[in-house]
Structure 1
Amino acid sequence: MNIHTKITELLGIKYPIIQGGLQGLGTSELSAKVSEAGGLGLITAGSFDTKEEMIHDIEKARNITNKPLGVNIATGIRKPMDQFIDGAVEADVPIVFTSGRNPEPYIEQLKNNDTIVVHVAPSIRFLKKAESIGCDAVVVNGYECGGHPGKDDVTSLTIVQKASRELSIPVIAAGGFSTGKSLLAALSLGAEGVQMGTRFLLSKESKLHPQIKQKLLCMQENDTILVKKSIGKTARVWKNERSKELADKELKGAPLDDILPYISGESYKELIVYGRTNKGVLSLGQTIGMIEEAKSVKEIIEMIIDDFKKQLEQVNQLTERIKT
């Protein structure tokens, strides 16, 4: 079963399912398997120290799959990302997802290389800006998402509908999507596809430390917490002792110097690579409560499509009953 939408047509993929940009984990081992299974895998530039490392990983991915593959570049967050934009162009990557700051400084360079540009944002204002500067599509983050849901606390149910109504370019829904039912819901709301981070975080191909994976498989939808509000970078993360400690410090007005040890790249690596839960915080969406097993990427996508088909059949049967 193929699912044809404007996004599958634009990106050249079989299913309207895009892997989220997973910092430190969105590398060839995972991303290539998502693409091979019919979705779009994204290699995360922030996982590498240099563009040369990223280009090498892109080549590794191309040895695994010849299906469309993209790069995710979060601009203006911790370090300048110009070299990674250059690297995406040098590697002739056909699709680039941007997030963070306004991608306008890079649009001409990417478009001159015939690159499809998709921007990720949590508000209608930023999405409209992305459209106005020439982005080909956008991802809208709802409140449920892992990572950065923005400042307005608007759920996917509302913001996906609004974005789909107010923009003329294709909209991809993110935040709360991990099943076939939620894929069908996103399409019903007007989106042309979904982006899933948390679901692929808990795949067999994800390099997340096995002990962390096991802990997360026991988590429910209320096992996340919002942090970094005090520095204007609100993020939804796993609610463990470390993140609760950070939230408490913020509540008490802790200065930036006291917050940085919790959110630094070094502490994050300690968590995802070595499984040290007393170091760093991990982005995690509320849809964690829907995930019970770490399956292979191929199994995950097959399960989502099977669930989508079954739910679509139920909706069609309901429609027939209403007609009669």
Structure 2
Amino acid sequence: MGFNTELTRRLGIEAPIVQGGMQWVGYAELASAVSNAGGLGILTALTQPTPEDLRKEIAKTRTLTKKPFGVNITLLPTMNAPPYNEYAQVCINEGIKVVETAGNSPGPVIKLLKSAGIIILHKCTTIRHAASAVKLGVDFLSIDGFECAGHVGESDITNFILLSRARQSLGVPFIASGGFADGQGLAAALALGAEGINMGTRFMCTVEAPIHVKIKQAIVDASEHDTELVMRRWTNTSRLFKNKVASEALKVERASTTGKFEEIAPFVSGKRGREVFINGDKDFGVWTAGQVIGLIHDIPTCQELITRIEKEAIESVERTRKVFQPQSKL
């Protein structure tokens, strides 16, 4: 007997597990492996230099899996915005059924995707933003707790509170994102009202993840204390792996008398972060990782990981059920 949640039913997947979009990680190799294992693999649109490159990556993924997969489109706070609508149009033209959206002012992109009948899974770090996304007609919300990697928002609300607030007030199915790596976490998310979980950092540490094995080992060796919150001064807080560059960036941020972002910009270069995944030097640039690194102790295949999570979740639910003992009637 497998899982039966609104997420598995609507998306046509077996396990209520989504591999979130990750810059420089969400390529065909990982997305197809997650989908083949029963979850929902996701390609990261902006990892592809152009919309045409995304189209080619979608085609490549279809040679590797016949199961459902999705695409992530994250709208970034930047002066030179990528052609988001063109990336969205590629998803429409290629028959993608599920798109994960995130970031600022997603309304136009969501409207375009919804007009084509695409299922929208929108990631939010606050209930206020989630409520706004509901008004845009999203199908699922991905509730992203403060534990997460990357952009954590500015509210610092952890998932234990955030998920319960989502259950209490949103009225739209949601999944839990940030801090998930095992079946115990999946069982807890389901108990709190979620329809499944989203995992990013945990999927970075799998055999199929297209990053250097030394970075995967760095995740295995790390503890939950090995992340840094950087760029809070500019209300663009990001959780990064605690390495030499991230620590130096934080030092500059705190010591700056001008408050100019230009002082920290060289330290948070995305290009240097991409090189980390290629050359295996964890200190070469900044890269995102969640506090969940403290729960990651091996580098399994995606199939091994998802099978294990399903087994652990079922065992956790059974163990919890046995705690309750009905009182006999006198």
CA distance in 2, matches of 1:275, 1:265: 15
CA-based RMSD of the aligned residues comes to: 1.3
Report the Cα offset of residue 123 of structure 1. 0.4
- 2:154 maps to 151
- 1:224 maps to 227
Q: How does 1:186-197 map to 2 (within 5 A)?
A: 186-197=189-200
**Range that drifts further, 209-218 or 295-304:** 209-218
CA distance in 1, matches of 2:66, 2:239: 34
Report the Cα offset of residue 32 of structure 1. 0.8
Q: How does 1:1-324 map to 2 (within 5 A)?
A: 1-78=1-78, 79-80=81-82, 81-253=84-256, 254-319=259-324, 321=325, 323=327
CA distance in 1, matches of 2:207, 2:111: 38
Report the Cα offset of residue 274 of structure 1. 1.6
Report the Cα offset of residue 262 of structure 1. 2.1
Report the Cα offset of residue 323 of structure 1. 4.2
**Range that drifts further, 77-86 or 94-103:** 77-86
CA distance in 2, matches of 1:164, 1:39: 23
Report the Cα offset of residue 322 of structure 1. 5.1
What are the superposed Cα offsets for residues 83-116 of structure 1, whole Å, 9 maximum, x if unpaired?
2112111211111111111211122321221111
Q: Percent identity?
A: 36
Report the Cα offset of residue 263 of structure 1. 2.1
**What is the one-letter code of the residue matched to 1:2?**
G
Match of 2:134, SS?
Answer: helix
Contact 1:102 1:130 in 2 (8 A): no
Task: Give the paired residue count.
Answer: 323
TM-score relative to the length of structure 1: 0.96
Report the Cα offset of residue 229 of structure 1. 0.8
Unpaired stretches in structure 1, ≥5 consecutive residues: none
**What is the one-letter code of the residue matched to 2:19?**
Q
CA distance in 2, matches of 1:314, 1:30: 32
Contact 1:92 1:113 in 2 (8 A): no
Contact 2:270 2:286 in 1 (8 A): no
Match of 2:151, SS?
Answer: coil
Match of 1:39, SS?
Answer: coil
**What is the one-letter code of the residue matched to 1:191?**
A
**What is the one-letter code of the residue matched to 1:192?**
E
Match of 1:74, SS?
Answer: strand
**What is the one-letter code of the residue matched to 1:245?**
E
Contact 2:229 2:239 in 1 (8 A): yes
CA distance in 2, matches of 1:10, 1:132: 20
CA distance in 2, matches of 1:293, 1:229: 32
Contact 1:242 1:277 in 2 (8 A): no
